[in-house]
Chains A and B, each alone.
Chain A
Amino acid sequence: GQQLNQSPQSMFIQEGEDVSMNCTSSSIFNTWLWYKQDPGEGPVLLIALYKAGELTSNGRLTAQFGITRKDSFLNISASIPSDVGIYFCAGNNNAGNMLTFGGGTRLMVKP
Chain B
Amino acid sequence: DVKVTQSSRYLVKRTGEKVFLECVQDMDHENMFWYRQDPGLGLRLIYFSYDVKMKEKGDIPEGYSVSREKKERFSLILESASTNQTSMYLCASSSPPRGGQETQYFGPGTRLLVL
Contacts and interface: CB of A to CB of B under 8 A. Distances in A.
Same complex:
yes
A40 interface: yes
B97 A92 contact: yes
A93 interface: yes
Contacts of A104: 42
B106 A98 contact: no
B103 A42 contact: no
Judged by DSSP, the binding face of A is: loop
Contacts of B4: 42
Contacts of B59: 1
Given A2-B42, A98-B48, A101-B43, A42 B100 contact: no
Interface stretch (B14-22, B67-75, B107-115): B107-115
18 contacts: A33-B103, A41-B109, A42-B91, A45-B103, A45-B106, A50-B99, A50-B101, A92-B97, A92-B100, A92-B101, A97-B48, A97-B50, A97-B102, A98-B45, A98-B58, A101-B42, A102-B42, A103-B42
Interface of B: 4, 6, 31, 42-43, 45, 48, 50, 58-59, 90-91, 94, 96-97, 99-109, 111
